[in-house]
């Protein structure tokens, strides 16, 4: 585990240890079940003391997540989980703090807190379940819905251009940015593993199917018949190719700013540790609403001191200067400056 400040579990934990006694109440067939199962199965691997793990969420279907994890948890208010988790994480370096959020929670009402948590590099693992729809309020378009989307609140089609969540996170210079898919447990867990090992903010977008209000939104990259032509699996140190026999390559055209998909050509070798976020940003631009070329995996993973670390160091440095008991220090502070005595 990355953070040396977080205590390890004295006993070997199992999947069962992370299941709470609460009945899971998502709609049958919801992608959230798969993510929950993958997380519960993955958590013991981290070997973190269960009581030092905290899940904080906002509002929305995904935000029920903490109730089902047998750790500490807070189901907070709409959009504010990153802010609440920031205060918790910055003041408690011994905790592993996870934020579970959705596309509406993180990108609409809570957009400000998300980008500020990322730019500060707070030591949070942020899992954004993106289903491109408002589920809990029964089917309005979300900030990741494609333009023209017809929903209950947009009978003539949405006029809004969607966010690309990874581009947004990279614009905020997030130090760890990844994407995965609810139904691919192996990939999901590999991304969670990398996120957990990252010191600082780790932002993970998880494509998640809402089978009630937006069913099949990611079918193009899930269906075994079509996915290989559209899904780009990023692997550190490997050329970025996809399609039958790797016939498509991601290339950097000379003189261009961005990346392109070409048949053949010199495939770029993926390196998530490139410090300049421009590279990962260019990768993030390959995927649009239509999902026709969609990278998954770790886009960016760079080292930068976390907010928590800086805050804690300032506290420690200040405390190192201390002489006397707290009461004595307080007494000195109260009597600082110009005083006078009446006898």
Binding site for other proteins (CB under 8 A): 20, 22, 49-52, 54, 56, 59, 66-67, 69-78, 80, 83-92, 94-95, 112-113, 116, 311, 314-315, 317-319, 321-322, 326-331, 333-343
Name which of 105 and 184 has its Cβ closer to other proteins.
Answer: 105
Helix (H) or strand (E) holding 55: strand 53-57
Nearest distance from residue 118's CB to other proteins, in Å? 11
Nearest distance from residue 175's CB to other proteins, in Å? 18
DSSP string, 157-172: ---PPPP-HHHHHHHT
- Cβ 250 vs Cβ 264: under 8 Å: no
**111 closest CA partner among 140, 87, 138, 142:** 142
148 torsion bin: left (phi>0), alpha (psi -120 to 50), beta (else): left
Nearest distance from residue 281's CB to other proteins, in Å? 22
Name which of 172 and 206 has its Cβ closer to other proteins.
Answer: 172
Name which of 48 and 181 has its Cβ closer to other proteins.
Answer: 48
DSSP state of 226: T
Instruction: Residue 187: count other Cβ atoms within 10 Å of its Cβ.
Output: 18
Nearest distance from residue 79's CB to other proteins, in Å? 8
Name which of 26 and 207 has its Cβ closer to other proteins.
Answer: 26
Name which of 67 and 229 has its Cβ closer to other proteins.
Answer: 67
Nearest distance from residue 119's CB to other proteins, in Å? 9
Buried b (16+ CB within 10 A) or exposed e, 149-173: bebeeeeeebeeebbbbbbbbbebb
Nearest distance from residue 26's CB to other proteins, in Å? 14
Name which of 9 and 154 has its Cβ closer to other proteins.
Answer: 9
**35 closest CA partner among 59, 6, 8, 69:** 69
């Amino acid at each position: 585990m990355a953070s040396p400040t977080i205590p390890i579990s004295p006993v070997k934990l199992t999947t069962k240890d992370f299941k709470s006694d609460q009945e899971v109440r998502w709609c049958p067939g919801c992608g959230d079940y798969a993510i929950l199962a993958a997380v519960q199965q993955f958590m013991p691997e981290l070997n973190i003391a269960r009581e030092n793990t905290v899940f904080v969420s906002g509002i929305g279907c995904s935000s029920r997540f903490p109730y089902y994890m047998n750790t500490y948890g807070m189901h907070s208010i709409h959009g504010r989980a990153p802010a609440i988790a920031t205060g918790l994480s910055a003041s408690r370096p011994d905790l592993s703090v996870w934020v579970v959020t959705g596309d509406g929670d993180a990108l609409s009402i809570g957009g400000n807190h998300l980008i500020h948590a990322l730019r500060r590099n707070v030591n949070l693992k942020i899992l954004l379940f993106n289903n491109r729809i408002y589920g809990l309020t029964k089917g309005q378009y979300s900030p990741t819905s494609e333009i023209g989307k017809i929903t209950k609140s947009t009978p003539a089609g949405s006029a809004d251009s969607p966010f690309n969540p990874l581009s947004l996170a990279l614009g905020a210079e997030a130090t760890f940015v990844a994407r995965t898919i609810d139904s691919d447990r192996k990939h999901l867990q590999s991304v969670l593993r990398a996120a957990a090992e990252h010191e600082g903010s780790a932002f993970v977008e998880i494509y998640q199917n809402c089978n009630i209000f937006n069913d099949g939104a990611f079918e193009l990259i899930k269906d075994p018949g079509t996915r290989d032509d559209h899904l780009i699996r990023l692997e550190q140190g490997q050329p970025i190719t996809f399609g039958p026999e790797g016939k498509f390559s991601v290339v950097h055209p000379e003189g261009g700013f961005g990346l392109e998909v070409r048949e053949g050509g010199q495939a770029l070798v993926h390196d998530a540790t490139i410090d300049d976020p421009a590279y990962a940003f260019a990768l993030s631009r390959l995927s649009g609403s239509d999902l026709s070329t969609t990278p998954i995996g770790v886009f960016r993973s760079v080292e930068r001191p976390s907010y928590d670390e800086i805050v804690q160091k300032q506290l420690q440095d200040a405390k190192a200067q201390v002489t006397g008991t707290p009461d004595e220090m307080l007494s000195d502070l109260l009597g600082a400056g110009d005083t006078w005595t009446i006898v």
